[in-house]
Amino acid sequence: MKVKQHHSDTKLAIILLIPAATLVIGLYFIPTLITFLMSFQKRDISENLFEVIINLPSSNLDNYIRSFRDPDWIASFNQTFLLILIVTGLGVAISLGIAILLSQEFKGRGFLRALVLIPWAIPPIVNGTTWTLIYHPQVGTLNALLSQLGLIDRYIIWLLDPLLAIFSAGLAVTWRNIPFMTLFILAGLQTVQRELYESAMVDGANFWQRFRHVTLPAIRPVLLTVIFMQIIWTTKVFDEIWALIKGGAAGTTVMNLWIYRQAFEFLRYGYGSALAYLLALFTSIVVIGYYYLVSKRSER
Amino acid sequence: MNKFYKDRSNQLTRRAALSTSAKVAIGAVVAVGAGVGGYFAGLQAAPKEVVRTVTAPGATVTQPGVTSTVTVERTVERTITAPEKRPKEVRVAVFSHYEDVPRKVMAPFFEPRFGVPVVFETVVAAESRDKYIAAHRAGTSPYDSLELWATTVQEMADRGWLVDLTDWVNRLFGPDRGAIADVWEAATYKGRIYAVPDKIGCPILQWNKELLKEAGLDPERPYEWWKTKNSINEFVEYAKATTYMKDGVQFWGYIDQWGYEVVVQYSIFAQMFGGKLMDTTKNQPWGEPAMNQKPAVEALQWMVDLLHKHKCIDPASLTYNWVFDFLPGYLQGNVAMVITWPFVTHVAENPEQSKIVGKTGFAPNFAKETTASLDGTEFFGVSKFAPNGVEAGLLWLEHVTSFDMQRRQGLHGVWAPIYKSLLTDPDITKTMYEAPVIRISYEYPHSAFWTPDWERWTDILRKEIHAALRLEKTPQQAMDDAARRIKEERETYTS
C-alpha cells in the first residue's frame, strides 16, 4: 500500500515538474547547446538552425583561433580588464566609505540609507544616457561645474582619449553599482561585535587602527564576495558603454559589446557564439578563483 | 505631432484655405463615393486595372545664390493592375520619427482609393533592422510593407527576404525613372530593385551668418562655394577665422559628427576629392575597397589637417555620434559652420530651440573637385512573407510614391519628396525652402557605397579613420590597413 502511494507521489511530482522542466530545457538548455555547437561553425544568420546539427562533421576550432588574431576582440578584452579594475577598485573604496558612514549613529541615517539606493533603481541604459549629458563637452553639467568652480578654462572632452573614456565610463558604471555594494558591506559591518571596538579603544587604538585591525578582518568575507560579484558584473557591462561610447573615436569597446556586434550587427552567429563562450570561460575562471579563496578560508 | 508640421498648419493663407476647402470637399465626395462603391465592389470582383495620369507642374525658384529654373519635367503616368483578390488589410511598418506623415497625411486617402484599410505599426528606425531580421529569420513578417533604412535594403535582399520590385518599378516610373531624384543605389542589389524611395534628404552646408560677419568675412559667400572648384580652401580660411576664444567662450569654425558616423561624413569628403570608399562597379554586390586610393586618402589627410594643423574643428566632434550631439553648439551660436541634414535649417529658425534665428544660411556643400553629399533616402519594401500577400504591400508602395501623396509630403513633412519637380514646386518651397538645395546636391556625387555587408566594412573603416585622426597612423597607412582588413574579412565570410 505504502509502495503504491510512493509511486503515485513520484508520478505526480514528475507531472508537476514537466512544465517548468520544459521551459528550462527549451529556453535555456537547448539554446545553450545550439550556441555551443554553433561556435565551432562558420555560421551566418540566414542559415537554418537545423543545419547546425547537419553540419556537425564540418565543425572546427577556426572561430576560437580567429579570436586570438582579432585586434578588436583583444582590445575589448584589455579594456574590459581595465574597466574591471576601475569599477571594482573605485566602487569598493567608495562603498566602504559610505557604508562606514551609514553604520554610525546620527540623525537622518534612515533617510540617507534609503537615498543611497536610488542609483540601483535606475535602468543601466538610462544611467548611460544620463551620463552622456553629464559628460557632454559643450552643454554637460560636469564641465559647467568645473568651470564655475574655476578649475578649468576650456571644456574637457571626457570621451575622447581612450584611457579617459574608459575611466569616465567606469565612473558611470560604479555610480550604478554603489548601492548594492554599500548595502552588502553595511550588512557585514553590522555583524562586527561592538565589544571588539570597545576593547580596541581601551587599548588606545585610533580610528585607522580600529578599521585596519578590527573592521577589515571582520568584513573580509563580505568584501571578497562584493569584489568577485563586481568582477563578474563588469565583464557583462553593455548599456553604459553603448550609450556613452558606442563606436566613438576613443575606440573603446568591451567584450560584451563586441560579442553583440558580431552576432547581431554583423550577423556572424558562429563567431559571436565562440566569443560568448570565451567570455563565459573568463567568468568561470573568476568564479573558480572565488570558490578557491572562500574554501581555503573556511578550511582555516 | 512633429513641431514643424504643427507650426506650419497655423500658417494657412487665404489661397491655401480655399484650396484646402476645395480638396476637402472633393475628398469627402470621393470618400463617400468610394465608400459606397467599395461596399458594392467588395461584393463583386476587384477591378482589373486602375489607370491614373498626373502631370508634374513647372516651377521657377530662386534662393539667394541658388537659382533653379525648372519647367515641366515630364508626365508621370501610371498604370496599376489592381490585385485579383483584394486583401482584407495592408499592414505597414513606419518609422517613429516620421509616422505623422504616413498616418495623418497619406493614410486618409488610402482606403477610399483602394477599398482596403491600412494598419500601421510604429518601429524605431534604429531598431528596425533587428526587428525585421529577427522576424524574417524565423520565416515570418508582421508587415506587408516595411519602411527601410538605406543600410538595410541590400542586406535583406541578399538574404532573399524582400520582393524583387524591378518590373513593378519599371511599369510605375518608366525604365529610366527620370522623374525621381537619383536615389536608387541603396535599393539596387545585383541590378534588381528591392525597395522604392518615399522621402529623400542629404547633408548640406549650413552656417551662422552673424559669426562670419563678426570675423570680417562675407556671410553670403558660402552660397557660391558649391559651384566653385577648390572652394574647400576658402571654407578652411573661414573656419580658421571663426575659431577663437571670446569672454571665456570657445567659438569654433566647424563642428561635425566624427564619432560613430564618421564614415558617413568621410564619404562626403572623399567624393568631393573625386574619390570612392568602395568601388561598387566591381565584384558585385560586394564591391572592391577603394578608400586607399589617392583621392580618398587626400580627403582623410584634409580631415586630419582640419583637426591638428588648422585646429578649426571642435575636437569634441570625434565623440559626437549623431546630429543631436553637436547641434547644441551650433544652435547656441558658438559654431560658424556645419554639414548636416536639411531639417536642421528649420530647427535653427525655431526660436524655442535656437539662438540663431534669422542668422542662418544654407547651400549645397563646398567643393574640391565638385561639391558632394550623401544620400539619406528612406525606402519602403515588400516582405517575402507579407501576411496579406505581396499585392497588399505593393498597394502601399503605389500609394506612398504617387505624385499626389508625395506632394502632400512636401507640403506637410520635413523630409523632401522624391520627385525632382516637387523639389522646386513653389507651393512646397514656400515652407520646405531647402528643397531646391537638396535637388542640386543630388545632381553631384552623393553615394554612400551601399553593399550587403556595409555594417561590417564601415566598422573596420571607422576604426582606421579614427586611428588616423588620433595620429596613430598616417592616412595612407590607415586606409591600406582598412582595405586589407575588409578583404580578409570578406575572404572569411563571403567565400
The answer to whether A153 contacts B159, with C-beta atoms less than 8 Å apart, is no
pLDDT computed for residue A3 by the predictor:
64
3-state secondary structure of B133: helix
Interface of A with B in 121-140 (CB under 8 A): 136-139
Q: Is the pLDDT at B36 greater than 70, yes or no?
A: no
Better-scored residue on pLDDT, B31 or B328: B328
CB contact, 8 Å: A46 with chain B?
yes
SS3 B363: strand
What pLDDT, in 10s, does the model give residues A141-165?
Answer: 999 999 999 999 888 999 988 889 9
Average pLDDT over residues B457-466: 95
A72 in contact with B, Cβ within 8 Å: yes
- Scanning the structure block, which residue is given the C-alpha cell 566594412? B457
Using alpha carbons, select from B345, B489, B394, B48 the residue that is nearest to residue B194.
B394
Does the pLDDT value for residue B38 go beyond 80? no
Q: Is the pLDDT of residue B18 over 90?
A: no
Please give the average per-residue pLDDT across B228-235, as a whole number: 97
Query: B493, A251: Cβ pair inside 8 Å?
Result: no
pLDDT at B75: 41
Residue environment code for B21-59, b if the CB has 16+ CB neighbours within 10 A, otherwise e: eeeeeeeeeebeebeeebeeeeeeebeeeeeeebebbeb
- What is the value of ipTM here, to two decimals? 0.83
DSSP string, B168-209: HHHHHH-TT-TTB-S--TTTEETTEE--EEEEB---EEEEEH
C-alpha distances (whole Å) from B110 to each of A76, A184, A280, B32, B361 are 50, 60, 52, 13, 38
Are the C-beta atoms of residues B90 and B116 closer than 8 Å to each other?
Answer: yes
CB B185 within 8 Å of CB B327: no
pLDDT in tens, A86-109: 999 999 999 999 999 998 888 888
Least confidently predicted of A110-114, A237-241, B47-51: B47-51
Q: What is the mean pLDDT of chain A?
A: 89
The DSSP result for A7-45, as a single string, is HHHHHHHHHHHHHHHHHHIIIIIHHHHHHHHHTTS---T
**Chain segment B236-292, per-residue pLDDT in tens:** 999 999 999 998 889 999 999 999 899 999 999 999 999 999 998 898 899 999 999
Interface of B with A in 184-203 (CB under 8 A): none
Q: What is the pLDDT of residues A53-73, one digit of tens each?
A: 888 888 889 999 999 999 899
Taking CB atoms and an 8 Å limit, are A136 and B325 in contact across chains?
A: yes
Cis bond upstream, residue B351 (ω within 30) = no
Q: Report the residue of chain B nearest A269, measured CA to CA.
A: B493
At A46 the pLDDT is 55
A249 and B463 within 8 Å at the Cβ level: the answer is no
pLDDT tier at B41, thresholds 50, 70, 90:
very low
Residue B28 pLDDT > 60? no
- A153 contacts chain B (CB < 8 A): yes
Q: What is the rounded CA–CA span in Å between residue B277 and residue B271?
A: 8
Residues of B in contact with A246 (CB under 8 A): 259-260, 321
**Predicted confidence (pLDDT) at residue A4 exceeds the cutoff of 50:** yes
In chain B the first and final C-alpha atoms are separated, in Å, by 48
Query: What per-residue confidence (pLDDT) applies to B82?
Result: 53
Decide if B245 and A154 are in contact by the 8 Å CB cutoff. yes
Please say if the pLDDT value at position B64 is more than 80. no
C-alpha triplet A293, A298, A300: angle, nearest 5°: 100
Instruction: Pick the residue from chain B with its C-alpha nearest to A248.
Output: B259
- Contact present, A286 and A231 (Cβ < 8 Å): yes
And the C-alpha cell for B316?
Answer: 569634441
Closest CA to B91 of B102, B105, B80: B102
Q: What is the pLDDT of residue B73?
A: 39
Residue reference for cell 564619404: B267
Best probe of the B interface among A46, A152, A154, A156, by most B CBs < 10 A, is A46
Cβ distance A237 to A29 under 8 Å?
no
Work out the minimum CA distance from A175 to partner chain B, whole angstroms: 22
Q: What is the pLDDT of residue A2?
A: 61
Comparing CA positions, the residue from A174, A155, A171 lying closest to residue A163 is A171
Over residues B186-204, the pLDDT tens digits come to: 999 999 999 999 999 999 9
Model pTM score: 0.83
Better pLDDT: B5 or B118: B118
Which residues on B lie below 8 Å from A155 (Cβ)? 250, 316
Q: Tell me, what's the pLDDT at A295?
A: 81
Confidence check: pLDDT of B395 > 90: yes
Is B463 touching A (CB cutoff 8 A)? yes
- Indicate if the pLDDT at residue A122 is higher than 80: yes
Please determine, for residue B340, whether its predicted confidence score (pLDDT) is greater than 80: yes
**Best residue in A65, A132, A138, A155 to probe B by mutation, most B CBs within 10 Å?**
A138
Q: A246 vs B137: CB contact, 8 Å cut-off? A: no
Could you tell me if B345 and B4 are in contact, meaning their C-beta atoms sit under 8 angstroms apart? no
Among the residue ranges A54-58, B158-162, B475-479, the one predicted with the least confidence is A54-58
Say if B459 is an interface residue toward chain A (CB within 8 Å). Answer: yes
Shortest CA gap A81–chain B (Å): 21
Q: Do B250 and A155 touch (CB under 8 A)?
A: yes
pLDDT for position B31:
43
Residue A285 in this model has a pLDDT that exceeds 50: yes
CA distance B494 to B351: 51
Look at A7 and A188; give whichever has higher pLDDT. A188
Query: What mean pLDDT do residues B135-147 have?
Result: 93
- The answer to whether A249 faces chain B, any CB pair under 8 Å, is yes
Note the pLDDT of residue B397.
95
pLDDT value at residue B25: 46
Q: For residues A207 and A214, what is the distance between their CA atoms, to the nearest angstrom?
A: 10
Q: Which positions ≥6 away from A103 have C-beta within 8 Å?
A: A186, A189, A190
Average pLDDT over residues B221-229: 96
Any B CB within 8 A of A50 CB: no
Selected residue of B319, B466, B489 to mutate for chain A interface (largest A Cβ count, 10 A): B319
Dihedral class, residue B177 (left if φ above 0, else alpha if ψ from -120 to 50, else beta): left
- DSSP states along B66-93: EEEEE----EEEEEEEPPSS--S-EEEE
**With 80 as the cut, is the pLDDT of residue A45 above it?**
no
Q: What local confidence, expressed as pLDDT, does residue B176 receive?
A: 75
| A160 with B262: Cβ contact below 8 A | no
Residues facing residue B76 across a β-bridge: B54
Q: What do you get for the CA distance between the two ends of chain A, in Å?
A: 51
Query: How many Cβ pairs closer than 8 A exist between chain A and B?
Result: 77
Q: Indicate yes or no: CB of B459 within 8 angstroms of CB of A266.
A: yes
Does B404 score more than 80 pLDDT? yes
Collect all residues with Cβ–Cβ distance below 8 Å to B110 and sequence separation of at least 6. Answer: B90, B116, B117, B118, B395, B396, B399
